[in-house]
Amino acid sequence: MDFVLSGVAACGACLFTNPLEVVKTRMQLQGELRTPGSYKIHYRNVFHAFYTIGKVDGLAGLQKGLVPGLNYQFVVNGVRLGSYAILESGGYIHSEGRVSPVKSVAAGAVAGMLGAVIGSPMYLEQ
């Protein structure tokens, strides 16, 4: 259950941060294939980019790429937080009845690596 709840929570966060990703990517790519100074600047700043994308593409334009982002967040964070919860409930991070900082860091590292390895193919999909 921890896998599912963790993934759903990450998807909720992705719904709010995806428009920022869209704006960031479009600002980074404007004029990328042209020599400096030879292209029209479409987005003067972040606020102008939000306004322009919303005006030209509609509000749905600010959520482009949402489905791959949701898939990625669900898998990566579900695996990462779910596997850490399994390690914690299994008693692997405890020593003599207390939480061991070293074991807790190691469990977090293992859980993070699992999430990264399993979610890496989905990141390439984005």
Q: What is the pLDDT of residues 107-123, one digit of tens each?
A: 999 999 999 999 988 87
Report which of 92, 89, 90, 117 is spatially closest to residue 104, judged by C-alpha positions: 92
- For residue range 12-65, what is the model confidence (pLDDT) as tens digits? 999 999 999 999 999 988 877 777 777 788 888 999 999 999 999 998 999 999
Report domain extents, the chain.
2-125
Calpha distance 20→16 (Å, rounded): 8
The full DSSP string for 58-92 is: -GGGGGTTHHHHHHHHHHHHHHHHHHHHHHHHTTT
Question: How much is the pLDDT for 123?
Answer: 78
Q: What would the 3-class secondary structure string for 98-126 be?
A: EECHHHHHHHHHHHHHHHHHHHHHHHHHC
- Cα R_g (the chain), whole angstroms: 20
Q: What is the value of pTM for the model shown?
A: 0.77
**77 pLDDT more than 80:** yes
